[in-house]
Every structure is written in structure tokens, then in C-alpha cells.
Structure 1
Amino acid sequence: MGTNEDLHELPDDRAALLLRDAMDRTTADLPPLPDLVGPARAQGRRRKARVRVAVGGGALVVAALALAGVVALPAGGGGPRTGGVTGVAAPPSSTAPPPPVHLEPSPGQSSMADLPAAERTRQEDFQNRAVGVLQGLLPPSVGTVRRTDLSVRLYQGAKDDKAFVIIFSVRPAGPADTGSPCHEARGEVCKKATLPGGIEATATTAPVNDGNVTETRLSFRYGKSKVSLVVSPHDASTTSAPVTNDQLLDLAGSPAFLDLIKSADADPVEEQQRAHPAG
């Protein structure tokens, strides 16, 4: 009898003839039953008929699988293979977030290490979610985004030996947080956009330090919170923040970013900024 591959390559009528011939030869090879009398003879005939049906049925299943081009083989997880592709999809792989950047606190400054264990875990979970969203939405020029262990609002982008400080803050708004007006003074370039839900957002590129580099800032109100995202320059190499106003406004309108903001607005990870009296 030909192989399963031979059957697969033949026309349907030719394959059916081969299958019928194989079934006849298989049942013909069965040993003859003894010549019994009476009920025993009838029982023997029924038994031979059942054996022939079982053998023929098995041959029919194999041939049908060959005609369909499917061969049941154990494949890792046990799924059948069709056309060389495993029929059962592998579970999606999960990528662990990169470890945090360690920053030593200044004298008198606290860090996340000083938080109660439950609160520290809650803030780290938010940071890890934020890293995933920012990594996916910021341009590749910002590099690899990592959280820091100093503050829930501090992150870092790194590319080509250049580190860009990222401040991402969602804190309860105070009385002085009245919106995000555009100010284009001292070389600043400002742009506004309306986000889903009618939210007005402002993005600004502004010179900092000696004026030879720029940082890019995004700000808007969401619910009860003031949202800000700042990408700073790399001072040592005199490299400005590698992100534009338009890119930050596009990021702000992303459903993933707004979902992250929504969760922080409902369950703040920062305290409301306190006003410091002058003098």
C-alpha cells in the first residue's frame, strides 16, 4: 500500500480505489473461522464481520487523514500539526520590566525605600505600568525607559550612552492649577491640542540651563489631577530632549496613556503639591 503522502498526491477517485483495495487485502489476511454449527457458527460470522468493520474503519480513518493532509503527531504541547504549523498557539511571552535606576537621595530627602512595604509595592506597580506605556509611545530616540527607585514620578530614558531624565506626574490638583496656558517667552515654542473628552493639553519646547539645550513639556488637567510629562536634555553632551511637541501631544491622546492617567486620578500615587510661602 502507498504511503499517506502518496494518497495525498492522487486524485480523489484513484485514492478511493487504493483505499478499497487496501481494506479488501487487510480483511482477506484474517485467519478463517472454524466451521461451527448452529448458534456458534452465527456468532462466528458476526464476530468476523465486526473485526472486518473495525479494521476497515481504521484504514478509512488513516486514509481520510492522508487525503486531508493532516497527520496527528505529538508536538511539544500535544496539538496536531497542519501543514507544518502547530495547531495549538503558544501562550504569549511576558517580558519583565527592566530593573530600576538607583538614585541616592540628597541629604534630608526621602526615597521610595522609606515607604511602608504595601505603599512601596503599589507605587512600583504603577511605575512598571508607566514604563510599559511610555516605552511604547515615546519615540525611539528616547531609548530604553526605566523607572527610578527615588520617586514614583522619576524615570529615565537611555540611548547611545545618553540619559534623559523623564518626570511623569499625576498628582491631585491644587487651587492654583487652573489649566495649561501657552506662554511663548524666551524662545519657548508652544502648541495646544484637544484630547478625547474635550481635554485641553499644552506641549512646550523651552530652552533650559544656558539656553543651548531644550526640554519638552506636556501638561493638562484630568479629573481631579494635574498631569505633567517632562523630557529633559542630556547636559553633558549638549543634547536637547529627543522628543517634539507634536509627539507628546500624540502620546497624550493615546487610549493607553489616558487609561494610565485615569487609574492614577482614581487612586493617586502622589500627594497634592503644597504651596511654599515666599520669604
Structure 2
Amino acid sequence: MGTTEDLYEVPDDRAALLVRDAMDRTTADLPPLPDLTGAALAQGRRRKARVRVAIGGGVLAVAAIGVAGAVSLSDVGGGRQVSGTVNVAAPPSGTGPQPPVHLEPTPGESSMADLPAAERTRQENFQNQAVGVLQALLPPTVGTVQRTDLNVRMYQGTKDGKTFVIIFSIRPSASDSNNKPCADVKGMVCKKSTLPGGIEATAVTMPVNNGNVTETELSFRYGKSNIRLAVAPHDASNTSAPVTNDQLLELAKDPAFIDLVKTADANPLEQPQQTIPGG
């Protein structure tokens, strides 16, 4: 696994670790996922309409995969110019997902471009659905949510020129490594909540880098998978992750989010987590 500090041109170790964690695996051929329509089942107040609009556009876009184009995107982190590749036909204005952000793999790394065509399409389908759900359920402070073409679990939010790395991972594992008690660490704020079905989820806001900024992370166990949703700070501007523990725990209770988790747990998109005996 190569280093990734040059992707965002920021000096902090924490952001690099997040990106490494997001890029360290690609998947082999896996059975096709069933149609992802769970987001349309989202209920409740204003977010119900937002989810349906976002996912409706995503489904239209997914149906047109294969029509390619290109768009230049300005700074998404530390002044670095990147390009986004449009893998779907443009849906009606304001209804479809944003084009993916293109990130070059470091030497020796793989990206989604290296996957077999059917598996790449399967992962892109899931990403487009995930973008719609995350855009609808994350607070507006996270900004515009986009997928990347580097790894199925790597996304980003962009707001006012600031880019926040988002990791959304549903990873098969034989052990519940997410089931950790809230640690009594200076500067760390930890909160637990019970999700539908009696699932216990933990959200943590923790200081990173030199302690001047924080990252926020949600984790829980579902079926045979460990679930993780993390939002990193924007280091160049010294801006903490613009989401709270309460907001992530509320998001985790939404039927649209749970439906994504349920589908990926049944048909994994990531390689299983390896357990080291005695580790």
C-alpha cells in the first residue's frame, strides 16, 4: 500500500490515515446486488422528500451508465487540481448525483478502474445510491457529497471551497471490532444510541493532528459487517468535521441509510476484514 499524503497536500498524519484506510482494498468478482431502491422507503418529515428526490435522480443516472464525459473540478483539497469523470448521463438539473472525483492511485495501488466491468458497475451503482442518501441525511454544513473513483467506500463533501473526506464502509468481519466502550480521553466526546432492531451504535468526536481540529465517526455492527461512517476535518483551513455525534446517530436510524447497510451486508462490496490471532 503506497503513501497518500500527496493526494491532499496536507501535512497531517490523521488525514493520510483516513485516505489510506479508504484505499487499501479492492474487491474480486462478487454476485450482483439486487436493485437498490431502499432509499425510496425513507420516511419522516422533510428528509423523506429530500431522500426520494436524491435517489430518484440516482436511479435515472445509474440506468444510463456507460455514457461518459469529463468535467474539470477546482480545488478539492490543498489547492490540487483534479478531474471528475462523468460515468452517467446527465439527469434533469438538480436531481442526479454529482460526477465522481477522479483520484490517481499511488504506485502499486489499485483503483475502481482496475475492476472487472461488471463489478465496477455494481460498485458505482451502490456509490450513486449512497451519495443520494448521504446528501439527504448529512447536515448542509458538509456541503455537496460526491463519490470518488478510487475506492467504493471513499467519498467527499465540499462546502465553501473546503473538502471533507468521508469514509462510508460496510466491511464483512468475523469479529465486532466496532463494539468499543467510550474511552475517557481528554478532548474526546463519545455518545451511544440504540438503533432500530436493538443495534447499539457509537459516535465519537475526537481531536486529531495537533489537537486543534476534530473528526467525527459513527460505528456499529450490522449482520456480518462492521459499519463505519467518518467525516474528517479540512486541514488546510484548520476546520473541524462539520457534523456532530447526535447528527450521525440520527442519520443511522433513518430507513434509507439502514437499507443501504442491509444490502451491502448481504452482498459485500469490500473484502473481509482479517483478524490477527492475539492482535
Give me the TM-score of the superposition, normalised by structure 1: 0.64
Secondary structure, aligned partner of 1:214:
strand
CA deviation after TM superposition for structure 1 residue 237, in Å: 0.1
Aligned-residue offset at 1:128: 0.4
1:230 alignment partner in structure 2: 230
Shift of 1:182: 1.5
Q: Please give the alpha-carbon distance, in whole angstroms, between the structure 2 residues aligned to 1:159 and 1:246.
A: 21
CA deviations over 1:147-183 (Å, ceiling 9, x no partner): 0000000000000000000000001023362624212
Going from structure 1 to structure 2, the CA distance change for 1:239 and 1:277 (only over 3 Å counts) comes to farther
Q: Does the CA-based 8 Å contact 2:101-2:147 persist in structure 1?
A: yes
CA distance in 1 between counterparts of 2:245 and 2:96 reads 30
Q: How does 1:1-279 map to 2 (within 5 A)?
A: 95-175=95-175, 177=177, 179-275=179-275
Please report the RMSD computed on the Cα atoms of aligned residues, expressed in angstroms: 1.9
* Number of residue equivalences: 188
Q: Which 4+ residue blocks in structure 1 deviate beyond 6 angstroms? A: 276-279
**In structure 1, C-alpha distance between the alignment counterparts of 2:268 and 2:238, rounded to whole Å:** 35
Describe the superposition over 1:74-110 as per-residue Cα deviations: whole angstroms up to 9, x where unpaired.
xxxxxxxxxxxxxxxxxx8762211101111112111
Q: Quick one: which amino acid aligns to residue 173 of structure 2?
A: A
Change (3 A) 1:125 1:110: same
Match of 2:40 in 1: none
The aligned counterpart of 2:42 is none
Does the 8 Å CA contact 2:189/2:206 hold for their aligned counterparts? yes
Residues 276 and 191 of structure 1: is their aligned pair in 2 closer, same or farther, counting only changes over 3 Å?
A: same
How far residue 274 of structure 1 moved from its aligned partner, in angstroms, is: 2.4
Matching residue of 1:87:
none
1-structure distance, mates of 2:174, 2:104: 29
What is the aligned partner in structure 1 of residue 83 from structure 2? none
2:204 partner letter: T
- The structural deviation recorded for 1:198 is 0.1
Does structure 2 conserve the Cα–Cα contact (< 8 Å) formed by 1:180 and 1:220?
no
State the SS of the aligned residue for 1:227. Answer: strand
The code of the aligned residue for 1:227 comes to I
Greater relative contact order (Cα < 8 A, sep 6+): 2
Residue number in structure 1 paired with 2:19: none
Aligned residue type for 2:261: I
SS where residue 201 of structure 2 aligns?
strand
Identity %, equivalent residues: 70
Residues 182-237 of structure 1 deviation map (CA, whole Å, 9 limit, x = unaligned): 12313210000000000000000000111110000000000111000000000000
Distance 1:134 1:244 in 2: 15
Separation of aligned partners in 1, 2:106 and 2:186: 31
SS at match of 1:236: coil
SS of corresponding position for 1:113? helix
The answer to which structure has the higher helix fraction is 1
TM-score by length of 2: 0.64
**8 A contact 1:142–1:159 mirrored in 2:** yes
- Between the aligned partners of 1:174 and 1:193, the Cα distance in structure 2 is 23
Partner of 2:150: helix, strand, or coil?
coil
Residues in 1 aligned to 2:255 and 2:176: alpha-carbon distance in whole angstroms: 28
CA distance 1:104–1:275, change in 2 (3 Å): farther
Give the direction of change, closer, same or farther, for the CA distance of 1:178–1:236 in structure 2 (3 Å limit). Answer: closer
Q: 1:180, 1:201 within 8 Å by CA — same for their partners in 2?
A: no
**One-letter amino acid of the counterpart of residue 110, structure 1:** S
Choose 1 or 2 for highest CA Rg.
Answer: 1
SS across alignment from 1:174: coil
> 1 CA distance for matches of 2:238 and 2:276?
32
Cα distance change of structure 1 residues 174 and 139 upon mapping to structure 2, 3 Å threshold: same
